[in-house]
Amino acid sequence: MTDTSILQITDLQVSTNSTPLLEGISLEIPRGGRVGLIGESGSGKSLTALSIIGLLPQALRTSGSITFHGRELLGLSDREMSKLRGNKIAMIFQEPMSALDPLMKVSKQIPASTAATTRLLQEVGLDASFGSRYPHQLSGGQRQRVMIAMALAQDPEL
């Protein structure tokens, strides 16, 4: 791992007891860098992301290595991972309607001050008035932008 890398994945494998689901994923993300995972449905993009953030279903097994600032993430307890989630490592889920609380206005779901929420909404291309709406009042793309604002609110490193 280079000095500028914040995340390194080496030979990541995810499987059920008998079936490999993901084999041999290796990548490195440098500080300030961007990596795009591209592939068809079922190719393992979500499994890779869920492995990084420690949210795989318990029935799945992982091997290989995922290090964040040199610290091994695979095998950390949920309690240890929860300290990293949001603050250090954020994830934008594919289905915003399952991640957003339908009973809460958008502004209440973004963990930031009112001024910061307004700024974050504008950064993702939404007017500040979107903060007073409920998720069901937004289009799919607008909900996805709210999810991006939520992830950026904690100013995560990854």
Q: pLDDT digits over 87-142, tens only?
A: 899 988 888 888 899 999 999 999 999 999 999 999 999 999 999 999 999 999 99
Identify the burial level of 99 via C-beta atoms within 10 angstroms of its C-beta, where 0-12 means exposed, 13-18 middle and 19 or more buried.
middle
Cα separation, 120 vs 147, in Å, equals 11
Q: One-letter amino acid identity for 36?
A: G
pLDDT digits (tens, 9 = 90+) for 13-68: 999 988 999 999 999 999 888 888 899 998 999 999 999 999 999 999 999 999 99
Strand order in the sheet with 71-72: 20-30, 5-15, 61-68, 71-72
Cα separation, 121 vs 117, in Å, equals 6
- Read off the pTM: 0.82
